[in-house]
Structure 1
């Protein structure tokens, strides 16, 4: 949902002002926004009609969080005669930042009238429309951005979000129709294939693809924990309590522990006291960077969970998977792989979203996660040679203000007689 500013490098003014303009541009590129502002202002003091300098001053003012001042700078750019789509785009982004939605929309549309192939302007106009709950319009405009840049992951994520909101607003048929168009136009994009198919009511694969999982979590890695806090995410705490009760002893630091789908490492603080060695595995390099920064893991691996488990026979005393198996529909294979990676008597603790007992054992939701029927989970555990030590129902988080019911499970690898 980024709204990048665009600088100008045009010449044609007095030599000293041009030198100052070039110096300010170099400072801005180095991230020295305060210093760049000062030098842009010196250039403009020599020639107040330097439109390009007004635009680039607006860029550094936005970088400094001074959006209202940036608006004035971009307006001055236009007043100096630089009627360019990039200036209208920059002005629209600054107007959006100060809450002037109507003016921002007009400026985005002006940029697009001048440059109909401006994909970034379509994307950010769609963001503005979505924030105003104009969801159908927003989805249509995201589709126009994607027509210009079909492989743009950010715009696919944004369209996914707009269609999910449309679905949650009760307009399921409309969301489904737009999802079918999205899937028709981009059949090979991982987000369209997974979320688009779920919204359209098409049959989905037995698990989310590696490409989908990696993209989603790389995209949200920087704000992942903030988003989860907003949703009242409880899975790590629920697993910590369940594990303590199932183990029946205090943590003693002697176990080989795997944090499966470790993400940013939210489970590491409660797992570390149990662990002689704590390993994390995740598909997303962005998530692993955050997990590594915690300094609590002895090893981290970037890998698909099933493939990783298959290469670790009998390696662990404890495997924990917090909201990881919700990206698998069919659980039989991954639970069998987890069982094989446990030592006899080892434990697997995990959460999944709970599906009311229905005809199907699992179902994918419009947000892309699978829910599982309790009977199906129990059956897969038994088939994998895992006995249920503890299974409870609890709220994992809140979705659109509603509690998400989940299963909190601790299972034990049975000791062969």
Structure 2
């Protein structure tokens, strides 16, 4: 093979430096183009391969990233940054065992790499080895107390291990280290430290369900024995008395569990959710006429659409304060329209954020909200919504009706 010319080296260097700047600016697709051009001019440069791996990971293409990082490993097997990025790619591809082996080798050579200990903890959790993850996070923070993400991960693990005091301290450390303040305060409120926010942070909800989408339905139905969607749809069907409405809205539709149950109740069915990954699964069901990615409160306040039925199954556990939701639903409901939804039942409080990070609502508060917005309660049914750690979660399904004539089209 002919060696690259001096001019080719100069061009490749310029392209590489351009790519570094573009990466720092978040313009990853453009950075990838520059790096690929640099690699064509001067093949097998470790720095180019490493940066190609990084930008492809940030573009959400772990398979392509791994190919570049594997080429780097063939040239420099012990490159620490290359090992770390390969472990990231392997984890994103679901190859957690391979990622763990790679991180163990990296830490054997570089035991003071705090970020690698954190990633090792995340990898162990992906392998369901939660107790083993604990010392990995603790080691990462011992090396770098300012590692905010490690503090957040440690806090969530400690909370799940029923160690609330230690979890609270970890979340407070994360807050002090500059982690997302809204997320930290949400986690702390779930442990009884501070006032509960009006709703779960959007980034948290979207990230949770984007990562959960593939396993969502089997876990919900088979492990948690979830049935709230059926009860909400049955309440709506009873209220409509067999006459389909012109349009129905499935708020927080997720993967579309409610879709087949709501489809016979409306001539047009629309789904709305914050998670694009969930919406892709809902789209695959083929029972929605339209799917929208949006925050539900903002959508209800702004949309020109009107509906004869609005349904929300197991959605308000992440919303919290329902005043804006009721106002928005009242705005979009046609005269005589039906609003069917489920909630977890609180211990008498109007609003309660539980350690599970789910909101529960009080029956008296819900009745007051319905009255405030002129909605008649046509059904209020207590039921077990699901199980959590084999314990039944008590809740209720409510069906409300807007004043006026029939909602059918």
Match of 1:297 among 267, 288, 293: 288
Q: Give the TM-score of the pair, scaled to structure 2.
A: 0.70
Q: Secondary structure at the match of 2:257?
A: coil
Report the counterpart of residue 318 of structure 2 in structure 1: 327
What aligned pairs does 1:274-293 form with structure 2 within 5 A after superposition?
274-293=265-284
1:415 aligns to what?
404
Q: Does 1:398 align with 2:387?
A: yes
The separation in 2 between residues aligned to 1:132 and 1:32, in whole angstroms, is 26
Maintained 8 Å contact 2:300/2:332: yes
Q: What is the TM-score when the length of structure 1 is the normalising length? A: 0.68
Question: CA 1:376/1:95 → structure 2, altered by over 3 Å: closer, same or farther?
Answer: closer
User: What is the deviation of 1:246?
Assistant: 3.0
Q: CA deviation at 1:307?
A: 1.4
Q: Distance in 1 between matches of 2:289 and 2:204?
A: 27
Per-residue CA deviation, residues 123-164 of structure 1 (Å, 9 max, x unaligned), is 2235427725357535535757996875x6xx7885464133
Q: CA deviation at 1:165?
A: 1.0
Asked if the contact 2:186–2:200 (Cα under 8 Å) also holds between the matched residues in 1, the reply is yes
**Residue 117 of structure 1: aligned partner:** 113
- Aligned residue in 2 for 1:233: 226
Could you say what secondary structure the match of 2:229 adopts? helix
Per-residue deviation, 1:343: 0.9
Deviations 1:231-269 (CA, angstroms, capped at 9, x unpaired): 2221211212222333333xx544310001111111101
Query: Where does residue 338 of structure 2 map in the other structure?
Result: 347
Q: Does the 8 Å contact 2:297/2:328 carry over to 1?
A: yes
Distance 1:177 1:200 in 2: 13
The Cα of 1:31 is off from its aligned counterpart by 11
- Among 241, 260, 278, which residue is 1:269 paired with? 260
> What do the CA deviations read for 1:337-364 (whole angstroms, capped 9, x no partner)?
111210111000001111121xx31111
Contact 2:134–2:154 (CA under 8 A) maintained in structure 1 = no
How many residues matched?
336
Is the alpha carbon distance of 1:318 and 1:123 closer, same or farther for their aligned partners in structure 2, counting shifts above 3 Å? same
Structure 1 alignment gaps of length 5 or more: 1-8, 12-27, 34-51, 57-76, 99-103
Q: What is the CA deviation profile of residues 23-52 of structure 1, one whole-angstrom value per residue up to 9, with x for unaligned ones?
A: xxxxx967999xxxxxxxxxxxxxxxxxx8
**Residues 199-228 of structure 1, C-alpha deviations (whole Å, 9 max, x = no match):** 362213111232332222223223322332
* 1:180 has 2:172 as partner: yes
Partner of 1:163: 158
In 2, Cα distance between equivalents of 1:219 and 1:280: 20
Matching of residues 245-260 of structure 1 within 5 Å: 245-249=238-242, 252-260=243-251
Q: Which residue of 2 aligns with 1:212?
A: 204
Alpha-carbon distance between aligned partners in 1 of 2:340 and 2:143, rounded to the nearest angstrom:
43
- In the other structure, the counterpart of 1:137 is 135
Could you say which residue in structure 2 is the equivalent of 1:370? 359
* CA shift in 2, pair 1:203/1:333, >3 Å: same
